[in-house]
Chain A
Amino acid sequence: MSHSHSFDKHYLEDGKGFKSWFFTHDHKRLGVMYLWAIGIFFVLAAIASFLIRFEHLSPGQTIVSAQTYNVLFTLHGAVMVFLFIVPGVAASFGNFLIPLMIGARDVIFPKLNLYSFWIYCAGSLILLLSLAAPVDTGWTFYTPYSIDTGTNVILVTFGVFVLGFSSILTGINFIVSMHKLRAPGLTWDRLPLFCWAAYATSLLQVLATPVVGITLLLLIGERYFGLGFFDPAKGGDPVLFQHFFWFYSHPAVYIMILPAMGIISEVIPVFSRKPIFGYKAIAYSSLAIALISFLVWGHHMFTSGQSKLINIIFSVITFAVAVPTAIKVFNWLWTMYKGSVELSTAMLYSLAFIFLFTIGGLTGLFLGALAADIHLHDTYFVVAHMHYVMIGGTVFGLFSAIHFWYPKMWGKMFDEFKAKIAFTLIFIGFNVVFFPQFILGTQGMPRRYFNYAPEFESLHQLSTYGTWILGVGFILMLYTLFKPVGVADSNPYRSVSLEWSMPSPPPTLNFEEIPTVTTSTYDYGTKVEQEA
């Protein structure tokens, strides 16, 4: 095999123009394109959320009508969930990193990888086409409203169905790559923890997505052919839709968070200069989370009238998810203990992840407790809990990854000082937006409502002011990332992981010679590191 031409140029230089990107098989280019795509959708959905918050500056109508408000929160939810956070870290950094981390030239099915990206683009376009008659059901498409509403439910659900294929094919690609392409010596107990997390994520993508696929097909059939699965008039059951929907969408929550946990496991040891504590515990806890996540979907329906016994079982299993999650958190903390911690931007985002995710996770337990959930169900408490996990967890994890692998991805360095100011604004802004929502929720403010009682006004206003701080933080972060300062060498953070052993940015085919791995991925503060 002669691939010499592919090692002279790095992957960003190897081919110019639209065609060289849109038809590429290179996992790194696909990862970068996913990153761009999810970035654009993130901004779109964030703008919708800023408008939602602006609307809540005062009770009654502030800037938009009630119908527009319903459309905005549906748009925010559907785009954030299906276009941003589900593909999110897994498709972007998973694609970019997995082959580099396992010592392979690409994923095992490079063409299929490209098709997954195209399917993602097609699904996104279909979903966005629905904006012609924007959907007002919320991102969960609950029946019976989703069957009755005159808006474009078929188009949106079909878009999500198509996106599911992309998710499934990416998952299959990653799982098979990790089984078949690990470099010699890279045994499962040396595999980087990001790969373990991506493996667990991929399992969820492969096993959960088809169920939402059939659910959405049935919903389309219900509107189009008059199927009766979810229609009580025909003997069907709307709660069945919720069961089907959450059988996917609860595991999907872990599709969103697991890759971010993988990132934290990579960043913490590098900036603590210590081997990761409890490698096996972190690795297996990813699989445990994936497994348990299939058994807890019923906790979304505590107030839907399902049997008391089922409620108790789902509640107990929900508590069980906290165990593997806490195992990860304590192992990360222990990794830092007595390490020489360097507060780089990436590390700050990772530390914020641990702090915010812990709040998000613990408040999840309140909601998993049957008695408390009766009070808190469908209030702002749920909104706050979910955003602490999804932003405080996944988005902070993603930002950590964007900063940590920035030198590897782009071959350049960013301005650490500006990036840290941006981090500070984002961290403060985020808490100002969402912490008051916990209080609003306990006071009984229902989620999704257009209007609210006057006594909630001050907390709503505080939450809205927070979005402005958050917005400034995002803009400063983007500015910092788009204004690189200086060229990166191959390993500016002195990591011992495989992806840092090659030039920045990596050549198209990554490894001229497939490496042989002889040590753990986390040999910090040992002889190996001093040699490296």
Chain B
Amino acid sequence: MQIMKFIKSLAYPSEMLPPIVEEESHFDPETEHSAAKLGMWLFLATELLLFGGLFAAYAIFRAKYPTMFAEGSASLDVVLGTVNTVILIFSSWTVAVAVSAIQENKIKLVQVMLWITIICAAIFGINKYFEYSYKLSNGITPGTDIFYSIYFAATGVHMLHVFIGMAVLGVILKKTYEGRYSKENFTAIEIGGLYWHLVDLIWIYLFPLLYLVG
């Protein structure tokens, strides 16, 4: 919620902000925890449908232009793609360790694991930056043909999700230093982790579909 406070402070002069009081919840912690998880799963369903549009377009156009897809795919850098896949799968493991560590109150371990996850995400982004700029410098743009339209749109929207995931995990990491989480109160870490797994999962589908067909 730090982000919201920050946005609020931009949008309104400080005297307009309501006094910050930790509001008493109307519901018991057990209900809140299970509700937050259900809410997150529903949100993940919306993410799948968002990418579902791109996957549907992929299926249609690949059936229509098989050679274009084979050639386009061959032009992508499989090594960088593989490295990025390994990085994301590894970061999914680190975030899972963080979620189980908090349930044993191992705050230090949680922090280390979240740091590693965020660094992995950053490395993923840097690799992607090199991939994009290499393509663009060779004159290949999102408008070159349908394959590259899908390549740039799908990996671009995915990249956006990586950044959002980094921001979410960053906020959670910051709060661990404020002592906000414990084995009684770890909902945010768990649902943040769920989100990160989804980002990983979508890449696991994008990687073979874009890099390995041919």
The chain A residues found within 8 Å of chain B, CB to CB, are 1, 3, 19, 23, 25, 104-106, 108-112, 115, 168, 171-173, 175-176, 179-181, 206-211, 213-215, 217-218, 221, 225-229, 234-237, 240, 244, 247, 509
CB pair B47–A176 under 8 Å, yes or no, is no
Chain B contact residues: over half helix, strand or loop, or mixed?
helix
Count, A-B residue pairs, CB within 8 A? 119
User: Is B115 interfacial (CB-CB < 8 Å)?
Assistant: no
State the CA gap A172–B31 with chains docked (Å): 15
Instruction: Check A213 against B152 for contact (C-beta < 8 Å).
Output: no
With A and B bound together, what is the CA distance between A25 and B51 in angstroms? 32
Q: Does A226 contact B143, Cβ atoms closer than 8 Å?
A: yes
A215 in contact with B53 (CB, 8 Å): yes
Residues from chain B with Cβ under 8 Å of A235 in the complex: 61, 64-65, 68, 145-146
CB <8 Å contact, A180 and B34: yes
A sample of 30 cross-chain residue pairs with beta-carbon separation below 8 angstroms, ordered by A number, consists of A19-B16, A108-B35, A172-B39, A176-B42, A179-B38, A180-B27, A180-B34, A180-B35, A181-B31, A206-B42, A208-B49, A210-B46, A211-B49, A211-B50, A217-B157, A218-B153, A221-B153, A225-B142, A225-B143, A226-B142, A227-B143, A227-B149, A234-B149, A235-B65, A235-B68, A235-B146, A236-B146, A236-B149, A240-B57, A244-B56
Q: Which residues of A are found within 8 Å of B36, using beta-carbon distances? A: 109
Query: A176 with B52: in contact, given A228-B143, A240-B60 (CB under 8 Å)?
Result: no
A105's closest neighbor in chain B, by CB? B26
A115, B4: Cβ atoms closer than 8 Å? yes
B160 closest partner in A (C-beta):
A217
- A104 to B35 alpha-carbon distance, docked (Å): 14
> How far apart are the CA atoms of A215 and B51 in the complex, in Å?
10
B24 at the interface (CB under 8 A from A): yes
Taken residue by residue from 147 to 191, chain B's Cβ proximity to chain A (1 for < 8 Å, 0 otherwise) reads as 001101100010000000000000000000000000000000000
CB-based contact B65/A214 at 8 Å: no
Smallest Cβ distance from A289 to chain B, in angstroms? 19
Whether the pair A108, B49 counts as a contact (CB closer than 8 A) is no
Given the interface pairs A109-B39, A115-B4, A180-B38, the reply to whether A229 lies near B153 with Cβ below 8 Å is yes
Identify the interface centre among B1, B35, B42, B53: most chain A CB within 10 Å of its CB: B53
Q: Are A206 and B46 in contact (CB under 8 A)?
A: yes
User: Which residue, of B1, B23, B153, has the highest number of chain A Cβ atoms within 10 A?
Assistant: B153
B45 is an interface residue with CB less than 8 A from chain A: yes
User: How far is the CB of A82 from the nearest CB of chain B, in Å?
Assistant: 18
The interface residues of chain B lying within 8 Å CB-to-CB of A25 are 23
Q: Which of B26, B42, B141 contacts A226 (CB 8 A)?
A: B141
B27, A229: Cβ atoms closer than 8 Å: no
- Report the bound CA distance from A172 to B41 in whole Å: 10
In the complex, chain A residues whose CB is within 8 Å of the CB of B32: 108
- The answer for the CA separation of A213 and B157 in the assembled complex, in Å, is 12
Q: Give A437 Cβ to nearest chain B Cβ, in Å.
A: 34
In the complex, what residues of A have CB within 8 A of residue B202's CB? none
Indicate if the CB atoms of B18 and A23 lie closer than 8 Å: yes
In the complex, how many angstroms separate the beta carbon of B5 from the nearest chain A beta carbon? 12
| A225–B148 CA distance with the chains assembled, in angstroms | 11
Interface residue? B134 (CB, 8 A): no
State whether A207 touches B49 (Cβ < 8 A): yes
Q: Quick check: is B129 within 8 A (CB to CB) of the other chain? A: no
Question: Which residues from B are CB-within-8-Å of A247?
Answer: 53
Q: Among residues 81 to 96 in chain B, which have CB atoms less than 8 Å away from a CB atom of chain A?
A: none
Hey, which chain B residues are within 8 Å of A3, CB to CB? 24
Name, among B31, B43, B146, the residue most crowded by chain A CB atoms within 10 Å (CB to CB): B146
Min CB distance A97 to B, Å, is 17
Q: A214 with B50: in contact, given A109-B39, A234-B149 (CB under 8 Å)? A: yes
User: Known contacts A181-B31, A235-B146, A236-B149; is A206 also within 8 Å of B18 by CB?
Assistant: no
Q: A105-B26, A109-B35, A215-B53 are in contact. Are A229 and B149 (CB under 8 A)?
A: yes
Chain B: minimal CB distance from A420 (Å): 40
**From residue B208, how far is it (CB to closest CB) to chain A in Å?**
21
**B54 sits at the interface (CB 8 A):** yes
The reply to whether A19 and B50 form a contact with Cβ atoms under 8 Å apart is: no
Contact B142–A213 (Cβ < 8 Å):
no
Closest to A114 in B: B4
Q: Which residue of A lies closest to B146 (CB)?
A: A235
Name the B residues within 8 Å of A176 (CB-CB): 35, 38-39, 42
The answer for the CA separation of A248 and B153 in the assembled complex, in Å, is: 20
| Chain A residues within 8 Å of B49, by CB | 207-208, 210-211
Given A180-B31, A227-B149, A509-B26, are A214 and B54 neighbors across the interface (CB < 8 Å)? yes
- Shortest CB–CB separation between residue B45 and chain A, in angstroms? 7
Known: A109-B35, A227-B152. Contact between A19 and B26, CB under 8 A?
no
**B-chain residues with CB within 8 Å of residue A218 when the two chains form the complex:** 53, 57, 153
Across-interface contacts of B18 in A (CB, < 8 A): 19, 23
On whether the beta carbons of B54 and A108 are closer than 8 Å, the reply is no
* Interface residues as binary, B105-124 with A (CB distance below 8 Å gives 1, 0 otherwise): 00000000000000000000
A229 is contacted by which of B26, B47, B146 (Cβ under 8 Å)?
B146
How near does chain A come to B7, taking the closest CB pair, in angstroms? 9
Bound Cα distance from A155 to B157, whole angstroms = 19
Could you say which residues of chain A place their CB within 8 Å of the CB of B50? 210-211, 213-214
Kindly state the separation between the CA atoms of A215 and B145 in the bound complex, as whole angstroms. Answer: 18
Shortest A496–chain B CB gap in Å is: 25
Residues in chain A near residue B146, CB distance under 8 A? 228-229, 234-236
Note all chain A residues with C-beta closer than 8 A to B39: 108-109, 112, 172-173, 176
Q: How far is the CB of A469 from chain B (nearest CB, A)?
A: 43
Contact across chains for B57 and A229 when beta carbons are under 8 A apart: yes
Residue of A nearest to B43 (CB): A172
